[in-house]
Chain A
Amino acid sequence: MDAVETALPTQQLEQIKGVKKAPLEEYFTSGHRTCQGCESALVMKLMVKAAGPRTIVLGSTGCMYVANTTYYSTSWVVPWMHTQLGSSGSAGLGTAAALRVLMRKGKIKEEPINVIAFCGDGGGADMGLSAISAALTHPQYNFLILLYDNESYANTDIQLSGLTPYGAHTTFSPPGKMKRLLHTRWKKNVAGMLAAGHPECRYVATVCASYAVDFMNRVRKALSIGGPTFIHSLDPCPKGWDYDPMLSHELGELAVETGVWPLYEVENGVLKLYGRTKAIAEKRARRKPVREYLIRQGRFAHFTDDDIDYFQAKVDEMWEKWLIPGVIPFRKELEQDRPPV
C-alpha cells in the first residue's frame, strides 16, 4: 500500500501570456447585483474565467453570495453552491473528496474537475480559519480556497473583520468624541500564516485584481499544481472604503505600490515576490508613501498625521525589519510597538 495517497490528476491550465490571450468565455456573467466599481465581482469573473467550464464553485456567505445568486437570476454559468460563512475549507474538501471517491468507484466519469471554494475576509480570517487550515492539510484532494478580502463584513453594513486595517472607520469602529480610533488591531497576515503552517499545501499566493493577467495566472497555477491551495486577494470596496467607484483599480495598484499589500507566491515551499512588489524589493521601483493610499479613502478621513505616520512606520517595519520583506514577520529583536494615543 502507498504510504502517501496521491492526488488525482488536475487540469494543466497554461499560463496566459498577455491580456489579449485571455479566454473570451465568461462563466460569471450578468444577473448579479454588486455595487458599482466592485472589485470582488471582478475577482469572481477572473477567477472562473481562468478556471474554465469544468469547474465547481462553492461560495461561503458574504456579499459575493448575496449579490450574485438571487433566486432565478444566478450569475454563475458553472455549478455553484452556497456554503456556510465559516465553511469554505469544508466545502472544498467535501466536494473534492466526493469527486475523488466517485471517480475511484467508477460512479462518475474520471476527469480533472476544478473545485474552488471562496470566502470573504470574515469567513476566511475569522470564523472559517480553522476549517481552511484543516483543509490545507489534506494533500490528496484537489481544490483551491480563494479569500476575497474587502477588509470588512461588506454584506451587512461594513463591520470590522480580522482583516480590517488599523484605525479604519467601520460601523463597528466609528470615530467618536472619546475614542478617535476604536479599532487598533493590525491586519492578520493570513497568506503568510497559512503558507508557513501547512507544509503539504503546495501553493499559496497573494493577488490583486488590478493586475488581471497576473491574477488569472495565479489561479491557474493553484488549480494545476494539485492538492489543496490558497489564494488571498485584496479587493478594494467602494462602499466599505468610501471612495469614488471609478478609483477601484487605482486603489488596488496603490495598495501594492505603497507596500501595504505585497504580491508573492509560495510554490512548493519556494517563495517568490512578483510584479510591482518584486520591483520594489529589488529597488527598481520606489515604495510610495501610504498617505497616497489612505487619503483617497473615506474610512481613514479621521486620521491625523500621527496616525498616518504610525501606519507608515508599521509598513516600513514590514519591509525593513521582517525576515522576508512584507511576507514573513519574524525578527531577531523585538522592538516596542507605540501606537499614537
Chain B
Amino acid sequence: MRDVAIIGSYTTKFGEMWERSFRDIVVEAGVGALEDAGVGGESIDSMFVGNMSGGQFVEQEHIGALIADYSGLAAGLHVPSTRVEAACASGGLAFRQGIQSVASGYNDIVVAAGVEKMTDVSSVGASSALAAAADREWEGMMGATFPGLYAMIARMHMQQYGTTSEQLAQVAVKNHKNGTNNPIAQYRNNITVDKVLNSIMVADPLHIFDCSPITDGAAALVLAPAEDAHKYTDTPIYIKGSGQASDTIALHDRRDITTLDASVYAAKRAYEMAGIGPDDVDVAEVHDCFTIAEICAIEDLGFVEKGQGGRFVEEGNTVIGGKIPVNTSGGLKACGHPVGATGIKQAAEIVNQLRGEAGKRQVEGAEIGLAHNVGGSGATALVHVLGRER
C-alpha cells in the first residue's frame, strides 16, 4: 500500500442556487480542484463521484459519465468515472474509494468529488428523497421522517444522560458562529439559544434550527501518491487513516439507539491505521445533520465519554480555541448539507485548516484533523484522519 496525499481541493458556494444546474456546480468544483493542484485533465487516471440521488433530485442517473463529459474528460481522454452512493455518506465514500485506488497503485492521480442539487424539487420532494436513506419499507412506510428518526435518538439521549434542549441548541449556535467566517457557507448569521428553542418544532424535541438545511453544492479533491505530492504542491495534506463501517439500515435494530456503532468502528479503524487516538486530533469536521448527531458524534469518535456530549458542548470545549474545535466550517447546519458533497467538503475544510488557510476559522497549530461522515441514521459511517506531516 502506498501513502496518499491531497494535492488539490475546492468547494463551491453552498446554498439555494436556483440559477445553477447540477452539472454547473460539479464542473466548477472539479475544475477548481485541478487548478488548485496545478494538474491538467490528461493527468487524471480516474474519478470517483459521491452522489446520493441524482435520480430523485434532478431525474438523472449515470452521474459518473455525465460529470466526466461536462468536465471535458470523456470525449478524447475517456477518463474512467465511477459514481458511488451511501446516502449522506456518498462523499466520504468517494473519498475513500479514491484513496484506495491510489494506495493500491492502480491509479496515480485521482479526483474524488461529491455533488448534490437538492432545490430543483419541492421541500416535500427533497424530504421524501432523503427518506430513502432510511428503511423505506419499515420506517418510512410508518410515517418516519429523517428529523423524526434523529428526534427519537435525541429523546432517548435526554432520558438516559440528562442531555437538554439548550445543549442541543448550543451546537447550532456554535456552528452558525463558525459559519459567519466561512465565505462558502449557506448561512452566515449568528443565532441564539432562544431563537433555536422558539423556532418551530419539526419532530419533538427537534426544532427547525436543530436541522441542517436543504442545499445545492459540490466539492472536489485531487489525490496523488505521497511520494509525488511535492511535485504538485508545497502543502500536501496526507491521509493518515481511513475507516468505514456499516450498521443496520433501520434505527430500531441498533444495539444501542443513542450510539452510532458504525461511527465507533469507522473511527477505531481510522485511528488504528493512523496510529493515533482521539486525544491527538486538533480539529474535526463531524456529521451534524441534526444537533443531536453532533453530540453523538463527539461521543462515538472518543472525544468525550458516552453521555457527556451535551455537557462537553455546554462547557465550550468544541468552539474554535476550545479543547477540540468541531465543525469550523459551520458544519452541515450552517455551511449547508448537499448530501453527496458533504463528505468531500468536510475533508476540504480539514485541508484548509492543516494548510493554515482557514482565515478567521483557523485552529492555531493544527497538525492532525478528522472528518466524520454518516449515511442515513447511522447505517454507514466513514472517518478519515488527515495530517500535515507524512
Decide whether A and B assemble into one complex.
no
- The interface of chain A, by Cβ under 8 A from chain B, is none
- The interface of chain B, by Cβ under 8 A from chain A, is none
